[in-house]
């Protein structure tokens, strides 16, 4: 007769490409789960050995050797507990996304992922062959099924497991965040657990990897599809649960957490994305221009929450059009956050540039060139500080601005990471209000005042753009949902606004291609997610 088992979910933050380091983390975690949590079985994320996504590292000739060495190291180091972990593995000349079952020095079973995502940010068919065998093994007399990430979103692999009599299913995941994704996962688990007729253990990776943020949020579902347990988002954790085959009951052994509301979770994702990008790439800290506007105000708050005040430096770079309000508000936030704050006027630099450019500009009327030059003076200063101190420059452009090109190449776009790259302006305001509920660091008039780049007297963003409520809705329909111009107009928007916005999106692809990366939070971010040609005769009207 089968006896109850204790399963531990290892929700880890791993480093892509660091196979030796990830192997060490897996060994240490397995031994801790065995010794401190009395684990019978420890579940690790999808592609835990390489981290996810390894991208073209999977094409390196030494991949197989490194994975083999890692597996041998684990086989030699861990006994007395069963491990289920993900890794890439060649079989008969093809590379597979594998889950392996390891116990007491033996690799007992391997399962190859069947459903390979090849949409949005995923391109697994570039690297992997699809498996076709059922993922099933026995542990202490219990029939345990295996599923790897995308498999659980489809009925085929689940039907296989049901037909083979699975009593418990373990799902290894590297599922990146976007707004609405946690609710989608819960819905899928509800459906698949009912389809299986047995409980389901859903483990998700956590951590930032370039543009992607894996938000954890591991879960347990009953055979009725009820969510029995919800883990934390954007943090490492070990969660234990017990499964009794006599009753078919899966029981969490720790208290779960309430699902955070959407804005709170997006904020956590931004913090995680910044922290991991800076720390995993070895930067000492960050520097950014603090203008007194809302975008830089939110960016610096995220940076401090991610790294600590001692690793964040802000610079106010005023010009003749900079208001006293902006100076006061920037200083107030810097003081509230406790960061290093300096003021460097760009006026002498600007005047020097203009003097040198005078022969080139002779006979030409002032235009946006002079405005852009202000931004480029600031970019030069920030990059010099970055170079000297080893601090990465954070840019502060939001998704609305990136979409329509309301930014300056080699000016406010100069830097290494854009915290708000996938955050529409309307969401910037909501996140700023949310951050102030944790502690009041963003001055209220920064939130209340009309947004302005302050590149000309009395300038506001709406001088050249529709109201952000309108702009963001148009952008959502065009960028994220692929509506045509006419379809957007049919939603009630003015044809003039729609045609102007869509034209701006299309002609500014060349700018976005040169922009820093930033955390993806929407269902379609610029970068890995939306790949459009720069040189194109496509017209958006149809």
- Binding residues for ATP, by number, are 289-296, 396
- Binding residues, by number, are 175, 181, 289-296, 372, 396, 401, 511
pLDDT along the chain (542 residues), means of 10: 89 97 98 96 98 95 95 97 97 95 96 93 93 94 96 94 94 96 95 94 97 97 95 97 94 90 96 98 96 94 98 93 85 94 94 95 93 94 96 96 93 95 96 96 90 58 78 95 93 94 94 94 89 82 59
Contacts of 463 (CB under 8 A, 6+ apart): none
Residue 460 pLDDT: 57
Give the distance from CA 251 to its chain's centroid: 31
10 Å CB burial of residue 327 (0-12, 13-18, 19+) is: middle
Q: Which two tokens stand for residue 15?
A: 């480093």
CA–CA dist 355, 361 (Å, integer): 10
Contact between residue 424 and residue 476 where contact means Cβ atoms under 8 Å apart: yes
CA angle 486, 488, 494 (to 5 degrees): 90
Residue 541 pLDDT: 62
Residue 538 pLDDT: 80
CA–CA dist 185, 219 (Å, integer): 9
Beta-carbon count within 10 A of 132 CB: 10
Residue 531 pLDDT: 85
* Angle, in degrees to the nearest 10, between helices 294-307 and 262-280: 60
Residue 527 pLDDT: 86
Closest Cα to residue 515, out of 528, 527, 533, 504? 527
Contacts of 487 (CB under 8 A, 6+ apart): 477
Residue 459 pLDDT: 53
Beta bridge partners of 517: 417
- Binding residues for deamido-NAD(+), by number, are 372, 401, 511
- Binding residues for L-glutamine, by number, are 175, 181
Domains, the chain? 5-259 (3.60.110.10), 264-465 (3.40.50.620)
Strands (E), 188-327: 200-204, 206-209, 212-215, 219-221, 227-230, 237-244, 249-252, 285-289, 312-316
Residue 248 pLDDT: 92
Q: Which residues are catalytic?
A: 46, 113, 149
Residue 296 pLDDT: 95
pTM across the whole model: 0.94
Q: Give the sheet arrangement for strand 94-103, strand by strand.
A: 106-112, 94-103, 82-91, 41-43, 5-11, 237-244, 249-252
Q: What backbone torsions phi and psi does residue 437 show, to the nearest 5 degrees?
A: -75, -20
């Amino acid at each position: 007769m089968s006896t109850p088992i204790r399963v531990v979910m290892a929700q880890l933050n791993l480093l892509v490409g660091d196979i030796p380091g990830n192997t060490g983390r897996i060994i240490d975690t397995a031994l801790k789960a065995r010794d401190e949590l009395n684990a019978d079985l420890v579940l690790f994320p999808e592609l835990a050995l390489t981290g996810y996504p390894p991208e073209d590292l999977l094409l390196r000739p030494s991949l197989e050797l490194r994975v083999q060495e890692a597996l041998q190291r684990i086989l030699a180091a861990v006994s007395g507990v069963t491990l289920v972990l993900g890794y890439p593995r060649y079989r008969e000349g093809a590379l597979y996304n594998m889950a392996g079952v390891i116990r007491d020095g033996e690799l007992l079973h391997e399962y190859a992922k069947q459903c390979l995502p090849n949409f949005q940010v995923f391109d697994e068919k570039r690297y992997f062959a699809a498996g076709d065998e059922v993922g099933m093994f026995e542990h202490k007399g219990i029939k345990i099924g295996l599923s790897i990430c995308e498999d659980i979103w489809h009925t085929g692999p689940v039907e296989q497991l049901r037909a083979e009599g699975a009593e418990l299913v373990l799902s290894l995941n590297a599922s990146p965040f976007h707004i609405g994704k946690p609710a989608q996962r819960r819905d899928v688990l509800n459906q698949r657990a009912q389809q299986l007729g047995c409980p389901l253990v859903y483990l998700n990776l956590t951590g930032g990897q370039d543009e992607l943020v894996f938000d954890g949020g591991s879960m347990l579902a009953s055979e009725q599809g009820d969510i029995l347990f919800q883990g934390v988002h954007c943090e490492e954790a070990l969660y234990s649960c017990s499964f009794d085959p006599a009753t078919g009951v899966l029981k969490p052994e720790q208290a779960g957490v309430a699902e955070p509301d959407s804005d709170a979770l997006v904020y956590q994702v931004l913090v995680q994305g910044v922290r991991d990008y800076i720390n995993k790439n070895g930067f000492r800290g960050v520097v950014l221009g603090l203008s007194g506007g809302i975008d830089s105000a939110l960016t610096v708050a995220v940076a401090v929450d991610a790294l600590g005040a001692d690793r964040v430096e802000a610079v106010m770079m005023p010009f003749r059009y900079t208001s006293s309000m902006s100076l006061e508000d920037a200083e107030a936030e810097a003081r509230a956050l406790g960061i290093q704050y300096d003021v460097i006027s760009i006026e002498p630099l600007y005047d020097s540039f203009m003097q040198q450019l005078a022969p080139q500009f002779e006979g030409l009327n002032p235009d946006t060139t002079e405005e852009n030059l202000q931004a480029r003076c600031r970019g030069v200063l920030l990059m010099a500080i970055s170079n000297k101190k080893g601090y990465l420059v954070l840019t502060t452009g939001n998704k609305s601005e990136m979409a329509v090109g309301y930014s300056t190449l080699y000016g406010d776009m100069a830097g290494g990471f854009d915290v708000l790259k996938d955050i529409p302006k309307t969401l910037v305001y909501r996140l700023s209000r949310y951050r102030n509920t944790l502690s009041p660091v963003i001055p209220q008039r920064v939130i209340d005042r009309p947004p302005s780049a302050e590149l000309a007297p009395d300038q506001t963003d709406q001088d050249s753009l529709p109201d952000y409520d309108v702009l963001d809705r148009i952008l959502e329909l065009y960028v994220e949902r692929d509506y045509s111009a006419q379809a957007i107009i049919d939603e009630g928007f003015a044809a003039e606004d729609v045609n102007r916005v869509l034209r701006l999106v299309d002609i500014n692809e060349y700018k976005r291609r040169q922009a820093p990366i930033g955390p993806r939070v929407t269902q379609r971010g610029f970068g890995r997610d939306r790949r459009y040609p720069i040189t194109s005769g496509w017209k958006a009207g149809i």
